[in-house]
Amino acid sequence: MAVFDIEKFKTIIHFVVDNCEDKPNFGKTVLFKLLYFSDFNFYELYEEKLTGADYERRPFGPAPLKPEFDKSIEELEEENAVIQKRVDFDDEVYQFRYFSLKKPDIHNLSEEEVEVITNVINKCSDMSATRISDYSHEDLPWQATETGNIIDYELVFYRTPEFSVREYEED
């Protein structure tokens, strides 16, 4: 069982933020889903965890555990790498936005890891928060998990063709 690698998780957050910060839809919900798909797609392809992060089934889709995510963002802010800002649209509607303060150092990521993350960014980063949440609800690992529970990485091997990122041999 892989142990949570906070440094790799922070690197991936920073990499995603640096690549997506200019998109008007890019807030916490989109970030959560990009992290989820990066972690779970990597696991499906290579049968090993990318960051070791746990993801919880929440009503609006999968999300990294709050303590792991919050600590990562806090450390990135302390390192002057990423800043989190709350943007208020009106009295009831707001969005947490993320901005990169410097280029991410991705030396601890392999080519395969960068490729998986980049593919997720290319496929999903232009989706609105509502669309990417709805999309994540169609992924079998989220569907097969009860709300509030940790999503089992092994469930990626039962994904539908729309979500599967691995070529499986026919029986």
Q: pLDDT tens for residues 128-140?
A: 999 999 999 999 9
Give tens-digit pLDDT for 2-22: 689 999 999 999 999 999 999
pLDDT score of 145: 98
- For the chain, the C-alpha Rg in angstroms (whole number) is 15
CB 87 within 8 A of CB 20: no
Domain borders along the chain are 6-158
Whether the predicted pLDDT of 96 surpasses 70: yes
How much is the pTM? 0.95
How far is it, in rounded angstroms, from Cα 80 to Cα 61?
29
Give the pLDDT of residue 3. 87
